[in-house]
Amino acid sequence: MRKAALKPSMESPPMAHDRKQSDSRIMAMLHKRAASIEKGESLTPPIVNAAKYALPGAPDHPYPYGRFDNPGWGAVEDAIGALEEAETVCFPSGMAAVTAALMATLKPKSRLLLPSDGYYTVRVLMDEFIKQHDIETTEIPTAEMTGHAVEGYDLVWIETPSNPGLDVCDIAAIAERAHAAGALVIVDNTTATPLLQRPLDLGADLTVSSDTKALAGHSDVLFGHVSGRDETLMARIRNWRKLSGSTPGPAEAYLAYRGLMTLELRLARMCESAHELANLFYSHKAVESVRFPGLADDPSFKIASTQMSEPGFVIGLTFKDEETAERFITDCPAIFAATSFGGIQTSAERRARWGDDVAEGYVRLSVGCEPTAALVQAVSDTLDSL
Ligand SMILES: Cc1ncc(COP(=O)(O)O)c(C=O)c1O
């Protein structure tokens, strides 16, 4: 959207994000393992490559077999759980977490309300595998989710901000109405992370995340998690992992743990640079329109400013055509041309190349951790050259 405010900014600190509470969750996450280890144990969790554990006699130990549990899963689950303030089960990818949440909650004849503009693989999974089990889905755009009727649905799936369009919907309002109508609410919180948005505090039953993105943050591992505060539901999620064998590798769990330790630092830089870049795009003639939930005239601004602590690090920008968009991506020395988002290096891609319902010139830009001034300069020079 264009062009009302010069400085995109959130107006007031959102109620769900008391700074002191957020700091205390980060402290708990960072020190969780230290508080649970004995003299001589390493501060970092060990990578335990185990299919077998010693198991004489009754099989009553927490580690009976590699598919049941691994010490490295516990370490990363405890740390993510300290941020989410909820029980957490980790998975080998975001899609494995999505699948677990669906398999633990859907039954034959379930009716599911789903965003038509969220991560497309979730819809493909529905079409190819889940709907055949007599499950009915209705797809509506994220921007219409807040006011949409929820009666008659068993599950409301939310992705906010949506990927790639960056629309948002009101989690608390939807959760209240969905619960009154007897439906569960699951939020894919990938684009925000538990630091910028807290779906469980806003009433969601489960939150799922592709930790492949900002949470692990180094573009070197696929990972995911599901968190929730309902013991029965979380026991089902854990049981799904054990029975389906959707288990993360021990080295992957370690990489996710290590990335998580710097999440707050990385996000601070990414969000600061995203504000600066959104400003630049907003005022530059080479850019036709900008989507960023922190822009005062963006359709996402109002809800985002009450339910997110920061508008995030993903920006949508539309160039006049495919060729200009491709030139922007390939000519800019500070942009890595790749799919995915949330990594250290700023990266971008044209989402229409995957068939997303966006303009040919629409670019999803994931702002990275480069020094802000140098990044803005490099992007600005490239825009001037288009
Ligand atoms: C919003 C969202 N959810 C889920 C996923 C799936 O995550 P993964 O690629 O880790 O399986 C993605 C991946 O891009 C995503 O963007």
Model pLDDT, residue 4: 42
Query: How many A from CA of 94 to the centre of ligand 1?
Result: 5
Q: Which of 113, 75, 86, 82 is nearest to 207 (CA)?
A: 86
Buried b (16+ CB within 10 A) or exposed e, 9-31: ebeeebebbeeeebeebbebbbe
* pLDDT surpassing 90 at residue 17: no
Nearest 10 degrees: Cα torsion 67, 69, 74, 80 = 40
User: pLDDT of 303-316, one tens digit each?
Assistant: 999 999 999 999 99
14 assigned to some structural domain: no
Distance 160 CA to ligand 1 centre (A): 13
CA 225 to centroid of ligand 1, rounded, Å: 11
Q: Are residues 154 and 282 in the same domain?
A: no
How confident is residue 242, by pLDDT bands cut at 50, 70 and 90? very high
Q: Calculate mean pLDDT across residues 256-276.
A: 98
Domain boundary among 260, 291, 320: 260
pLDDT(215) > 50: yes
- The verdict on 111 and 165 lying in the same domain is yes
The domain in which residue 62 lies consists of 19-260
Amino acid at 78: D
Distance in Å, CA 45 to ligand 1 centroid: 26
Do 196 and 244 share a domain, yes or no?
yes
pLDDT of res. 18: 80
Of residues 4 and 213, which shows the higher confidence score?
213
In ligand 1, the atom with minimum distance to the C-alpha of 162 is 1
CATH code at 51? 3.40.640.10
Share of residues in the chain with pLDDT > 90 (%) = 94
C-alpha distance across the termini of the chain, in Å = 20
Asked if the peptide bond before residue 164 counts as cis, ω within 30 degrees of 0, the response is yes
Which pLDDT score is estimated for 2? 45
CB 303 within 8 A of CB 30: no
Domain end call among 244, 260, 276: 260
* Confidence check: pLDDT of 361 > 90: yes
* Nearest atom, ligand 1, residue 159 CA: 1
Residues facing residue 52 across a β-bridge: 65
Position 148 pLDDT exceeds 80: yes
- Whether 118 is in a domain gets the answer yes
**CB count, 10 Å around CB of 123?**
16
Instruction: Clarify whether residues 166 and 286 are in a common domain.
Output: no
Short-list 181, 226, 187, CA closest to 203? 187
- Give the count of beta carbons closer than 10 Å to the beta carbon of residue 354: 12
Report pLDDT for 19.
86
> Is there a contact between 181 and 209 (Cβ–Cβ < 8 Å)?
no
